[in-house]
């Protein structure tokens, strides 16, 4: 008699867990969860593209600064003047 009671309680717990999982799946499918995830992924891809462009711009600026720092002093003043005259 004791083992059938615990078997019954175990069956109720398993049914409750499965029911909860099923309810969560149904709610997620009705709420458009996949649409939200798709939109979030697209937004992140746009952010990545912008960050990659900013990185490339920063690399170009660093290259210019490295050239200015490593060139001779006379050439440096001419380059600074050129940069000031050509924005």
pLDDT at 71: 66
Mean pLDDT over 48-72 rounds to 84
> What is the rounded distance in angstroms from the CA atom of residue 44 to the CA atom of residue 72?
44
Burial environment of residue 53 by CB neighbours within 10 A (0 to 12, 13 to 18, 19 or more): exposed
> What is the rounded distance in angstroms from the CA atom of residue 78 to the CA atom of residue 80?
5
Stated pTM of the model:
0.44
* pLDDT confidence bin for 73, thresholds 50/70/90: low
**In this predicted model, what pLDDT tens digit does every residue of 3-50 receive, in sequence order?**
677 777 778 888 888 888 888 877 777 666 577 777 888 888 998 998
User: Under a CB-based contact definition with an 8 Å cutoff, are residues 80 and 67 in contact?
Assistant: no
Give, as one character, the DSSP assignment of residue 71: S
> What is the rounded distance in angstroms from the CA atom of residue 65 to the CA atom of residue 85?
17
């Amino acid at each position: 008699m004791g083992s059938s009671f615990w078997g019954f309680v175990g069956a109720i717990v398993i049914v409750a867990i499965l029911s909860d999982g099923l309810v969560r799946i149904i709610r997620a499918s009705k709420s458009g969860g996949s649409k939200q995830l798709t939109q979030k992924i697209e937004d992140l891809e746009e952010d990545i593209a912008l960050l990659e462009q900013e990185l490339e711009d920063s690399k170009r600026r660093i290259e210019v600064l490295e050239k200015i720092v490593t060139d001779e002093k006379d050439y440096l003043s001419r380059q600074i003047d050129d940069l000031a005259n050509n924005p």
